[in-house]
Amino acid sequence: MFIELFLLCIGAFLLFFQLRIRRLKNFPPGPTPYPLFGNLLQLDSRNPLKDLDKFAQQYGSVYSLYIGRHPAVVLTGHKVIKEALVTQAVAFAGRPSTMLISHLTQNKGVLMSDFGNGWKEHRRFTLTTLRNFGLGKKSMEHRILDEVKFISSLLEESAGKVIDPQYLFHNAASNIMATIIFGSRFSYQDEIFQKLVTSIENLAKIIIGPWEMLFEIAPALRIFPLPIRKGFQYFEQIKEHNLKVIGEHKMSRVAGKPRDLIDVYLEEMEKREDQCTIFNDSQMATLLFDLFLGGTDTTSNTLRTLTLYLMTYTYIQERCQQEIDEVLGACEHVTYEDRNAMPYIQAVIHEAQRVGDLAPLSMFHSTTTNTQLHGYSIPKGTIIIPNLSSALRDKSQWKFPDEFNPENFLNEKGEFVKPDAFMPFSVGSRACLGESLARMELFLILVTILREFRLIWPEDAGVPDFNYIYGLTQSVKPYRLRVELRRPEKTC
Protein backbone atom coordinates (compact mmCIF):
# COMPACT_ATOMS: atom_id res chain seq x y z
CA MET A 1 0.00 0.00 0.00
CA PHE A 2 2.80 2.39 0.95
CA ILE A 3 4.74 1.59 -2.25
CA GLU A 4 1.63 2.15 -4.39
CA LEU A 5 0.96 5.49 -2.69
CA PHE A 6 4.61 6.49 -3.12
CA LEU A 7 4.58 5.60 -6.83
CA LEU A 8 1.30 7.55 -7.24
CA CYS A 9 2.88 10.63 -5.67
CA ILE A 10 5.99 10.30 -7.86
CA GLY A 11 3.75 9.96 -10.93
CA ALA A 12 1.74 13.04 -9.97
CA PHE A 13 4.97 14.97 -9.32
CA LEU A 14 6.41 14.01 -12.73
CA LEU A 15 3.09 14.85 -14.43
CA PHE A 16 3.14 18.26 -12.78
CA PHE A 17 6.57 19.04 -14.19
CA GLN A 18 5.56 17.71 -17.58
CA LEU A 19 2.47 19.90 -17.68
CA ARG A 20 3.82 22.95 -15.88
CA ILE A 21 4.12 26.12 -17.87
CA ARG A 22 7.58 27.59 -18.22
CA ARG A 23 7.89 31.34 -18.34
CA LEU A 24 9.73 32.65 -21.39
CA LYS A 25 13.04 34.48 -21.03
CA ASN A 26 12.66 38.24 -20.39
CA PHE A 27 8.89 37.83 -20.69
CA PRO A 28 6.74 40.34 -18.77
CA PRO A 29 6.17 39.33 -15.12
CA GLY A 30 2.82 38.00 -13.95
CA PRO A 31 1.06 35.62 -11.56
CA THR A 32 2.29 32.03 -11.42
CA PRO A 33 0.28 29.87 -13.84
CA TYR A 34 -1.14 26.47 -12.95
CA PRO A 35 -0.55 23.37 -15.07
CA LEU A 36 -3.08 22.97 -17.88
CA PHE A 37 -5.26 25.93 -16.76
CA GLY A 38 -2.64 28.68 -16.78
CA ASN A 39 -4.06 31.67 -14.89
CA LEU A 40 -7.71 31.07 -15.83
CA LEU A 41 -8.61 29.84 -12.34
CA GLN A 42 -7.34 33.17 -10.92
CA LEU A 43 -9.84 35.17 -13.00
CA ASP A 44 -13.54 35.64 -12.29
CA SER A 45 -15.17 34.15 -15.40
CA ARG A 46 -18.26 36.36 -14.92
CA ASN A 47 -16.18 39.55 -14.99
CA PRO A 48 -12.35 39.41 -14.86
CA LEU A 49 -11.77 43.19 -14.96
CA LYS A 50 -11.16 43.63 -11.22
CA ASP A 51 -8.68 40.74 -11.24
CA LEU A 52 -6.83 42.31 -14.18
CA ASP A 53 -6.66 45.65 -12.31
CA LYS A 54 -5.24 43.84 -9.28
CA PHE A 55 -2.52 42.18 -11.37
CA ALA A 56 -1.64 45.54 -13.00
CA GLN A 57 -1.13 47.09 -9.57
CA GLN A 58 1.17 44.22 -8.63
CA TYR A 59 3.12 43.66 -11.86
CA GLY A 60 2.88 46.95 -13.79
CA SER A 61 1.23 48.21 -16.96
CA VAL A 62 2.69 45.38 -19.08
CA TYR A 63 2.29 41.95 -17.48
CA SER A 64 1.70 38.36 -18.53
CA LEU A 65 -1.02 35.77 -18.09
CA TYR A 66 -1.39 32.27 -19.44
CA ILE A 67 -4.67 31.29 -21.08
CA GLY A 68 -4.37 27.56 -20.70
CA ARG A 69 -0.90 26.87 -22.11
CA HIS A 70 -0.90 29.97 -24.31
CA PRO A 71 1.13 33.01 -23.18
CA ALA A 72 -0.63 36.39 -23.22
CA VAL A 73 0.41 39.95 -22.42
CA VAL A 74 -2.05 42.43 -20.89
CA LEU A 75 -1.65 46.13 -21.74
CA THR A 76 -2.92 48.54 -19.08
CA GLY A 77 -3.42 52.30 -19.53
CA HIS A 78 -3.85 54.39 -22.68
CA LYS A 79 -0.14 55.17 -23.11
CA VAL A 80 0.95 51.53 -23.24
CA ILE A 81 -2.01 50.56 -25.44
CA LYS A 82 -1.15 53.30 -27.95
CA GLU A 83 2.56 52.47 -27.84
CA ALA A 84 1.76 48.91 -28.88
CA LEU A 85 -1.26 49.27 -31.19
CA VAL A 86 -0.34 52.58 -32.85
CA THR A 87 3.43 53.12 -32.61
CA GLN A 88 4.16 49.43 -33.25
CA ALA A 89 0.98 48.79 -35.21
CA VAL A 90 2.33 46.10 -37.56
CA ALA A 91 4.01 44.06 -34.80
CA PHE A 92 0.79 43.96 -32.74
CA ALA A 93 -1.80 43.64 -35.53
CA GLY A 94 -2.22 39.86 -35.58
CA ARG A 95 -5.14 37.79 -34.29
CA PRO A 96 -4.85 34.68 -32.09
CA SER A 97 -5.65 31.38 -33.81
CA THR A 98 -6.54 29.51 -30.60
CA MET A 99 -9.70 31.33 -29.53
CA LEU A 100 -13.23 30.00 -29.99
CA ILE A 101 -14.19 32.81 -32.36
CA SER A 102 -11.08 32.08 -34.45
CA HIS A 103 -12.23 28.48 -34.90
CA LEU A 104 -15.79 29.59 -35.66
CA THR A 105 -14.76 32.02 -38.39
CA GLN A 106 -11.72 29.99 -39.51
CA ASN A 107 -9.87 33.32 -39.49
CA LYS A 108 -11.91 34.54 -42.48
CA GLY A 109 -13.64 37.88 -42.94
CA VAL A 110 -12.04 40.96 -41.43
CA LEU A 111 -12.61 40.75 -37.67
CA MET A 112 -10.50 37.67 -36.87
CA SER A 113 -8.44 37.20 -40.05
CA ASP A 114 -4.72 37.29 -39.38
CA PHE A 115 -2.59 40.24 -40.41
CA GLY A 116 -1.63 39.96 -44.06
CA ASN A 117 -2.70 40.80 -47.60
CA GLY A 118 -6.09 39.08 -47.23
CA TRP A 119 -7.00 41.13 -44.17
CA LYS A 120 -5.67 44.36 -45.71
CA GLU A 121 -7.65 43.85 -48.93
CA HIS A 122 -10.88 43.04 -47.07
CA ARG A 123 -10.50 45.96 -44.70
CA ARG A 124 -9.80 48.34 -47.60
CA PHE A 125 -12.74 46.92 -49.57
CA THR A 126 -15.11 47.26 -46.60
CA LEU A 127 -14.13 50.84 -45.73
CA THR A 128 -14.37 51.92 -49.39
CA THR A 129 -17.76 50.25 -49.83
CA LEU A 130 -19.16 51.76 -46.63
CA ARG A 131 -18.03 55.22 -47.77
CA ASN A 132 -19.56 54.66 -51.22
CA PHE A 133 -22.85 53.75 -49.55
CA GLY A 134 -22.84 57.01 -47.64
CA LEU A 135 -20.75 56.58 -44.50
CA GLY A 136 -20.24 60.11 -43.20
CA LYS A 137 -22.52 61.54 -45.91
CA LYS A 138 -26.12 62.72 -46.22
CA SER A 139 -27.25 59.45 -47.79
CA MET A 140 -26.26 57.50 -44.68
CA GLU A 141 -27.92 60.14 -42.53
CA HIS A 142 -31.17 59.53 -44.42
CA ARG A 143 -30.89 55.75 -43.90
CA ILE A 144 -30.57 56.28 -40.15
CA LEU A 145 -33.34 58.87 -39.94
CA ASP A 146 -35.66 56.55 -41.88
CA GLU A 147 -35.08 53.88 -39.22
CA VAL A 148 -35.54 56.44 -36.43
CA LYS A 149 -39.09 56.98 -37.69
CA PHE A 150 -39.91 53.38 -36.76
CA ILE A 151 -38.40 53.87 -33.29
CA SER A 152 -40.41 57.06 -32.77
CA SER A 153 -43.59 55.40 -33.99
CA LEU A 154 -43.22 52.52 -31.54
CA LEU A 155 -42.40 54.85 -28.66
CA GLU A 156 -45.37 57.05 -29.51
CA GLU A 157 -47.66 54.02 -29.42
CA SER A 158 -46.18 53.21 -26.01
CA ALA A 159 -46.66 56.71 -24.55
CA GLY A 160 -47.72 56.44 -20.91
CA LYS A 161 -46.81 52.75 -20.83
CA VAL A 162 -43.84 50.83 -19.44
CA ILE A 163 -41.70 49.04 -22.07
CA ASP A 164 -38.48 47.05 -22.44
CA PRO A 165 -36.15 49.03 -24.74
CA GLN A 166 -33.61 46.24 -25.32
CA TYR A 167 -34.93 44.80 -28.57
CA LEU A 168 -36.17 48.14 -29.87
CA PHE A 169 -32.61 49.51 -29.99
CA HIS A 170 -31.08 46.21 -31.09
CA ASN A 171 -33.55 45.81 -33.96
CA ALA A 172 -32.99 49.40 -35.10
CA ALA A 173 -29.19 49.06 -35.16
CA SER A 174 -29.49 45.70 -36.94
CA ASN A 175 -31.81 47.16 -39.55
CA ILE A 176 -29.50 50.06 -40.34
CA MET A 177 -26.73 47.53 -40.98
CA ALA A 178 -29.15 45.37 -42.98
CA THR A 179 -29.87 48.23 -45.41
CA ILE A 180 -26.15 48.47 -46.15
CA ILE A 181 -25.50 44.73 -46.40
CA PHE A 182 -28.76 43.33 -47.83
CA GLY A 183 -30.15 46.47 -49.48
CA SER A 184 -33.41 46.57 -47.49
CA ARG A 185 -34.74 46.70 -43.95
CA PHE A 186 -36.85 44.09 -42.18
CA SER A 187 -40.00 44.38 -40.13
CA TYR A 188 -39.17 44.12 -36.42
CA GLN A 189 -41.61 41.20 -36.33
CA ASP A 190 -40.03 39.40 -39.31
CA GLU A 191 -39.35 35.81 -38.21
CA ILE A 192 -36.18 35.34 -40.29
CA PHE A 193 -34.76 38.68 -39.14
CA GLN A 194 -35.47 37.90 -35.50
CA LYS A 195 -33.83 34.48 -35.82
CA LEU A 196 -30.70 36.08 -37.30
CA VAL A 197 -30.54 38.77 -34.60
CA THR A 198 -31.13 36.22 -31.80
CA SER A 199 -28.48 33.84 -33.16
CA ILE A 200 -25.87 36.61 -33.25
CA GLU A 201 -26.86 37.76 -29.76
CA ASN A 202 -26.64 34.22 -28.31
CA LEU A 203 -23.34 33.56 -30.03
CA ALA A 204 -21.83 36.77 -28.63
CA LYS A 205 -22.62 35.53 -25.09
CA ILE A 206 -20.69 32.30 -25.69
CA ILE A 207 -17.67 33.82 -27.45
CA ILE A 208 -16.36 35.43 -24.26
CA GLY A 209 -17.15 33.69 -21.00
CA PRO A 210 -16.50 30.47 -19.08
CA TRP A 211 -17.00 28.22 -22.11
CA GLU A 212 -14.50 30.20 -24.17
CA MET A 213 -11.97 29.64 -21.38
CA LEU A 214 -12.66 25.90 -21.35
CA PHE A 215 -12.30 25.80 -25.13
CA GLU A 216 -8.80 27.28 -24.77
CA ILE A 217 -7.87 24.37 -22.50
CA ALA A 218 -9.63 21.55 -24.36
CA PRO A 219 -10.90 22.30 -27.91
CA ALA A 220 -12.16 18.70 -28.10
CA LEU A 221 -15.06 19.76 -25.85
CA ARG A 222 -16.79 21.02 -28.99
CA ILE A 223 -17.96 17.45 -29.74
CA PHE A 224 -19.98 17.27 -26.50
CA PRO A 225 -23.51 18.75 -26.07
CA LEU A 226 -22.21 21.88 -24.30
CA PRO A 227 -22.68 25.61 -25.06
CA ILE A 228 -19.39 25.45 -27.03
CA ARG A 229 -21.07 23.10 -29.49
CA LYS A 230 -24.13 25.35 -29.50
CA GLY A 231 -21.85 28.23 -30.50
CA PHE A 232 -20.77 26.36 -33.64
CA GLN A 233 -24.43 25.67 -34.42
CA TYR A 234 -25.34 29.35 -34.05
CA PHE A 235 -22.50 30.34 -36.36
CA GLU A 236 -23.56 27.78 -38.98
CA GLN A 237 -27.13 29.14 -38.88
CA ILE A 238 -25.84 32.67 -39.45
CA LYS A 239 -23.50 31.56 -42.22
CA GLU A 240 -26.23 29.52 -43.96
CA HIS A 241 -28.54 32.56 -43.87
CA ASN A 242 -25.83 34.77 -45.38
CA LEU A 243 -24.95 32.22 -48.09
CA LYS A 244 -28.65 31.94 -49.00
CA VAL A 245 -28.93 35.72 -49.40
CA ILE A 246 -25.69 35.75 -51.43
CA GLY A 247 -27.19 33.11 -53.76
CA GLU A 248 -30.35 35.20 -54.21
CA HIS A 249 -28.23 38.26 -55.03
CA LYS A 250 -26.35 36.32 -57.71
CA MET A 251 -29.67 35.59 -59.43
CA SER A 252 -31.19 39.09 -59.15
CA ARG A 253 -28.33 41.58 -59.43
CA VAL A 254 -27.79 43.83 -62.44
CA ALA A 255 -24.17 44.35 -63.49
CA GLY A 256 -22.93 47.88 -62.81
CA LYS A 257 -25.88 48.73 -60.55
CA PRO A 258 -24.96 47.53 -57.04
CA ARG A 259 -27.77 47.71 -54.50
CA ASP A 260 -25.74 46.86 -51.42
CA LEU A 261 -22.45 45.53 -50.09
CA ILE A 262 -23.18 41.98 -51.33
CA ASP A 263 -23.54 43.20 -54.93
CA VAL A 264 -20.29 45.16 -54.68
CA TYR A 265 -18.49 42.10 -53.29
CA LEU A 266 -19.82 39.94 -56.14
CA GLU A 267 -18.50 42.49 -58.63
CA GLU A 268 -15.12 42.34 -56.90
CA MET A 269 -15.14 38.54 -57.20
CA GLU A 270 -15.76 38.85 -60.95
CA LYS A 271 -12.87 41.29 -61.36
CA ARG A 272 -10.55 38.81 -59.65
CA GLU A 273 -11.92 35.73 -61.42
CA ASP A 274 -8.64 34.93 -63.20
CA GLN A 275 -6.59 35.38 -60.04
CA CYS A 276 -5.91 33.09 -57.11
CA THR A 277 -7.95 35.24 -54.75
CA ILE A 278 -9.30 35.22 -51.22
CA PHE A 279 -12.53 36.93 -52.34
CA ASN A 280 -15.13 34.13 -52.35
CA ASP A 281 -18.58 33.22 -51.00
CA SER A 282 -17.27 31.82 -47.71
CA GLN A 283 -15.16 34.91 -47.03
CA MET A 284 -18.13 37.14 -47.84
CA ALA A 285 -20.49 35.21 -45.53
CA THR A 286 -18.05 35.68 -42.64
CA LEU A 287 -17.52 39.36 -43.49
CA LEU A 288 -21.30 39.91 -43.28
CA PHE A 289 -21.26 38.24 -39.85
CA ASP A 290 -18.39 40.52 -38.75
CA LEU A 291 -20.28 43.64 -39.81
CA PHE A 292 -23.50 42.56 -38.11
CA LEU A 293 -21.69 41.59 -34.91
CA GLY A 294 -19.67 44.79 -34.76
CA GLY A 295 -22.42 47.10 -35.96
CA THR A 296 -25.33 46.17 -33.72
CA ASP A 297 -24.36 45.33 -30.13
CA THR A 298 -22.13 48.36 -29.60
CA THR A 299 -24.75 50.86 -30.77
CA SER A 300 -27.76 49.21 -29.10
CA ASN A 301 -25.94 48.68 -25.78
CA THR A 302 -24.73 52.29 -25.76
CA LEU A 303 -28.30 53.51 -26.29
CA ARG A 304 -29.53 51.30 -23.44
CA THR A 305 -26.76 52.62 -21.17
CA LEU A 306 -27.59 56.19 -22.16
CA THR A 307 -31.29 55.71 -21.51
CA LEU A 308 -30.67 54.22 -18.06
CA TYR A 309 -28.49 57.16 -16.96
CA LEU A 310 -30.80 59.79 -18.47
CA MET A 311 -33.78 58.35 -16.57
CA THR A 312 -31.75 58.36 -13.36
CA TYR A 313 -30.10 61.77 -13.77
CA THR A 314 -33.15 63.72 -14.92
CA TYR A 315 -31.31 67.07 -14.75
CA ILE A 316 -28.91 65.78 -17.46
CA GLN A 317 -31.85 64.70 -19.61
CA GLU A 318 -33.49 68.11 -19.19
CA ARG A 319 -30.28 69.94 -20.08
CA CYS A 320 -29.96 67.79 -23.22
CA GLN A 321 -33.51 68.61 -24.22
CA GLN A 322 -32.94 72.31 -23.62
CA GLU A 323 -29.90 72.27 -25.93
CA ILE A 324 -31.82 70.32 -28.58
CA ASP A 325 -34.76 72.76 -28.51
CA GLU A 326 -32.46 75.78 -28.72
CA VAL A 327 -30.48 74.43 -31.69
CA LEU A 328 -33.26 72.80 -33.71
CA GLY A 329 -36.07 75.22 -32.97
CA ALA A 330 -38.99 74.37 -35.23
CA CYS A 331 -36.97 72.40 -37.81
CA GLU A 332 -38.49 69.11 -38.87
CA HIS A 333 -35.57 66.84 -37.99
CA VAL A 334 -32.02 66.83 -36.76
CA THR A 335 -29.00 66.56 -39.10
CA TYR A 336 -25.58 65.16 -38.30
CA GLU A 337 -24.07 68.61 -38.81
CA ASP A 338 -26.11 69.83 -35.83
CA ARG A 339 -23.73 67.97 -33.51
CA ASN A 340 -21.24 70.84 -33.86
CA ALA A 341 -23.75 73.14 -32.13
CA MET A 342 -24.55 70.60 -29.39
CA PRO A 343 -21.45 70.15 -27.20
CA TYR A 344 -23.44 68.91 -24.20
CA ILE A 345 -25.22 66.20 -26.21
CA GLN A 346 -21.85 65.08 -27.60
CA ALA A 347 -20.40 65.00 -24.10
CA VAL A 348 -23.33 62.90 -22.82
CA ILE A 349 -22.99 60.37 -25.67
CA HIS A 350 -19.23 60.02 -25.18
CA GLU A 351 -19.65 59.72 -21.41
CA ALA A 352 -22.11 56.86 -21.92
CA GLN A 353 -19.53 55.13 -24.11
CA ARG A 354 -16.84 55.69 -21.48
CA VAL A 355 -18.90 54.53 -18.50
CA GLY A 356 -20.60 51.79 -20.53
CA ASP A 357 -17.15 50.37 -21.32
CA LEU A 358 -18.71 48.36 -24.14
CA ALA A 359 -15.69 46.31 -25.27
CA PRO A 360 -13.51 46.29 -22.14
CA LEU A 361 -10.84 43.96 -23.52
CA SER A 362 -11.35 44.80 -27.18
CA MET A 363 -10.81 41.83 -29.49
CA PHE A 364 -7.56 40.09 -28.59
CA HIS A 365 -4.52 40.80 -30.78
CA SER A 366 -1.38 38.74 -31.32
CA THR A 367 2.17 39.66 -32.27
CA THR A 368 3.14 39.16 -35.91
CA THR A 369 6.87 39.08 -35.14
CA ASN A 370 9.28 38.93 -32.21
CA THR A 371 9.16 42.38 -30.63
CA GLN A 372 9.97 44.48 -27.55
CA LEU A 373 7.69 46.53 -25.30
CA HIS A 374 8.79 48.41 -22.19
CA GLY A 375 12.05 46.44 -22.23
CA TYR A 376 10.35 43.04 -22.28
CA SER A 377 10.72 40.46 -25.05
CA ILE A 378 7.45 39.33 -26.62
CA PRO A 379 7.72 36.42 -29.08
CA LYS A 380 5.79 36.14 -32.33
CA GLY A 381 2.31 34.67 -31.83
CA THR A 382 1.84 35.92 -28.26
CA ILE A 383 -1.76 36.83 -27.41
CA ILE A 384 -2.13 40.56 -26.66
CA ILE A 385 -5.00 41.77 -24.44
CA PRO A 386 -5.57 45.56 -24.63
CA ASN A 387 -7.38 46.48 -21.40
CA LEU A 388 -9.39 49.38 -22.87
CA SER A 389 -11.35 49.53 -19.63
CA SER A 390 -8.23 50.67 -17.78
CA ALA A 391 -7.89 53.67 -20.12
CA LEU A 392 -11.56 54.62 -19.77
CA ARG A 393 -11.30 54.56 -15.96
CA ASP A 394 -7.78 55.99 -15.55
CA LYS A 395 -7.92 58.35 -12.55
CA SER A 396 -5.10 60.47 -13.99
CA GLN A 397 -6.99 61.09 -17.24
CA TRP A 398 -10.56 61.87 -16.18
CA LYS A 399 -12.02 64.57 -13.94
CA PHE A 400 -14.70 62.17 -12.67
CA PRO A 401 -13.42 58.65 -13.47
CA ASP A 402 -15.86 56.74 -11.24
CA GLU A 403 -19.15 58.45 -12.04
CA PHE A 404 -21.36 59.33 -14.97
CA ASN A 405 -20.56 62.99 -15.60
CA PRO A 406 -20.58 64.72 -19.01
CA GLU A 407 -18.07 67.25 -17.61
CA ASN A 408 -15.42 64.66 -18.45
CA PHE A 409 -15.79 65.84 -22.07
CA LEU A 410 -16.29 69.57 -21.54
CA ASN A 411 -13.65 72.24 -20.96
CA GLU A 412 -13.98 75.39 -18.84
CA LYS A 413 -15.80 77.14 -21.71
CA GLY A 414 -18.36 74.35 -22.08
CA GLU A 415 -16.78 73.19 -25.36
CA PHE A 416 -16.65 69.52 -26.27
CA VAL A 417 -13.19 67.93 -25.89
CA LYS A 418 -12.11 64.31 -26.31
CA PRO A 419 -9.18 63.17 -24.10
CA ASP A 420 -6.54 60.78 -25.51
CA ALA A 421 -7.64 58.07 -23.07
CA PHE A 422 -11.03 57.78 -24.82
CA MET A 423 -10.73 54.58 -26.86
CA PRO A 424 -13.95 52.54 -26.67
CA PHE A 425 -13.44 51.39 -30.30
CA SER A 426 -9.78 50.49 -29.71
CA VAL A 427 -7.00 52.23 -31.68
CA GLY A 428 -4.60 51.52 -34.50
CA SER A 429 -5.04 49.40 -37.61
CA ARG A 430 -7.49 47.04 -35.90
CA ALA A 431 -9.80 49.76 -34.58
CA CYS A 432 -13.52 49.16 -35.14
CA LEU A 433 -14.57 49.54 -38.79
CA GLY A 434 -17.97 50.92 -37.82
CA GLU A 435 -16.84 53.72 -35.50
CA SER A 436 -18.02 56.50 -37.82
CA LEU A 437 -21.36 54.79 -38.41
CA ALA A 438 -21.86 54.27 -34.65
CA ARG A 439 -21.18 57.95 -33.92
CA MET A 440 -23.73 59.04 -36.51
CA GLU A 441 -26.36 56.54 -35.29
CA LEU A 442 -25.98 57.48 -31.63
CA PHE A 443 -26.30 61.20 -32.25
CA LEU A 444 -29.28 61.07 -34.64
CA ILE A 445 -31.22 58.46 -32.64
CA LEU A 446 -30.64 60.07 -29.23
CA VAL A 447 -31.48 63.61 -30.34
CA THR A 448 -34.67 62.47 -32.09
CA ILE A 449 -35.85 60.48 -29.06
CA LEU A 450 -35.08 63.21 -26.51
CA ARG A 451 -36.69 65.84 -28.69
CA GLU A 452 -39.97 63.93 -28.84
CA PHE A 453 -40.11 61.99 -25.56
CA ARG A 454 -39.38 62.10 -21.84
CA LEU A 455 -37.69 58.96 -20.54
CA ILE A 456 -38.91 58.11 -17.03
CA TRP A 457 -37.85 55.45 -14.54
CA PRO A 458 -41.01 53.49 -13.56
CA GLU A 459 -42.14 54.18 -9.98
CA ASP A 460 -42.51 50.47 -9.14
CA ALA A 461 -39.17 49.41 -10.69
CA GLY A 462 -37.08 49.73 -7.55
CA VAL A 463 -33.55 51.19 -7.57
CA PRO A 464 -31.71 51.40 -10.95
CA ASP A 465 -28.97 48.76 -11.24
CA PHE A 466 -25.79 50.09 -12.88
CA ASN A 467 -23.90 46.79 -12.74
CA TYR A 468 -22.87 45.35 -16.09
CA ILE A 469 -23.17 41.96 -17.74
CA TYR A 470 -19.68 41.11 -18.97
CA GLY A 471 -19.30 39.73 -22.48
CA LEU A 472 -17.87 40.33 -25.93
CA THR A 473 -19.73 43.61 -25.62
CA GLN A 474 -20.56 44.64 -22.05
CA SER A 475 -24.12 45.74 -21.32
CA VAL A 476 -26.32 47.01 -18.51
CA LYS A 477 -28.80 44.56 -17.05
CA PRO A 478 -32.34 44.43 -18.54
CA TYR A 479 -34.66 47.17 -17.31
CA ARG A 480 -37.93 48.87 -18.22
CA LEU A 481 -38.77 52.49 -18.94
CA ARG A 482 -41.84 54.70 -19.16
CA VAL A 483 -42.27 57.08 -22.10
CA GLU A 484 -44.12 60.40 -22.21
CA LEU A 485 -44.61 62.69 -25.21
CA ARG A 486 -42.94 66.11 -25.24
CA ARG A 487 -42.75 66.81 -28.99
CA PRO A 488 -42.43 70.55 -29.82
CA GLU A 489 -44.12 72.20 -32.77
CA LYS A 490 -42.21 71.64 -36.06
CA THR A 491 -42.79 74.09 -38.91
CA CYS A 492 -39.55 74.61 -40.86
Give the pLDDT of residue 20: 52
The whole-number pLDDT of residue 2 equals 37
Determine what percent of the chain is predicted with pLDDT higher than 70: 90
The model's confidence at residue 68, banded by pLDDT at 50, 70 and 90, is confident
The ranges assigned to domains in the chain are: 22-485
> Percentage of residues in the chain with pLDDT exceeding 90?
52
Lowest-confidence region among 1-5, 315-319, 381-385, 445-449: 1-5
Output phi, psi for 122, to 5 deg.
-70, -40
How many CA atoms does the CB half-sphere of 322 hold within 13 Å? 7
Predicted confidence (pLDDT) at residue 484 exceeds the cutoff of 80:
yes
What pLDDT does residue 133 have?
80
Position with higher pLDDT, 201 vs 378:
378
Pick the CATH number of 22-485 from 3.40.50.1980, 3.30.750.24, 1.10.630.10, 1.10.287.1260: 1.10.630.10
Q: What is the mean pLDDT of residues 364-381?
A: 95
User: Per mean pLDDT, which range of 100-104, 178-182, 357-361 is the poorest?
Assistant: 100-104
Mean pLDDT of all residues in 129-150: 85
Measured from the Cβ of residue 437, the count of other Cβ atoms closer than 10 Å reads 26
Amino acid residing at 353: Q
Model confidence at 488, pLDDT cuts 50, 70, 90, reads low
pTM higher than 0.85 for the full model? Answer: yes
Is it the case that residue 17 has pLDDT exceeding 60? no
* Residue 124 pLDDT level (bands cut at 50, 70, 90): very high
Question: Is the pLDDT reported for residue 295 higher than 60?
Answer: yes
What's the pLDDT tens digit per position in 182-202? 888 888 888 888 888 888 878
If one compares 451 and 103, the residue with the highest pLDDT of the two is 451
Q: Is the pLDDT of residue 45 over 50?
A: yes
Q: Choose between 109 and 201: higher pLDDT.
A: 109
Average pLDDT, the chain: 87
pLDDT at 276: 66
What pLDDT does 36 receive? 81
- Render pLDDT for 275-289 as a digit per residue (tens, 0 to 9): 767 899 999 999 999
Model confidence band, residue 462 (pLDDT cutoffs 50, 70, 90):
confident
What pLDDT does residue 193 have? Answer: 83
- pLDDT recorded at residue 405: 97
Lowest mean pLDDT among 178-182, 218-222, 444-448: 218-222
Supply the pLDDT for residue 11: 46
Average pLDDT over residues 410-424: 95
pLDDT score, position 148: 93
Is 317:450 a contact under the CB 8 Å cutoff?
yes
Q: What is the pLDDT of residue 7?
A: 41
The amino acid sitting at 18 is Q
More confident residue, 259 or 219: 259
Highest mean pLDDT among 131-135, 331-335, 384-388, 464-468: 384-388
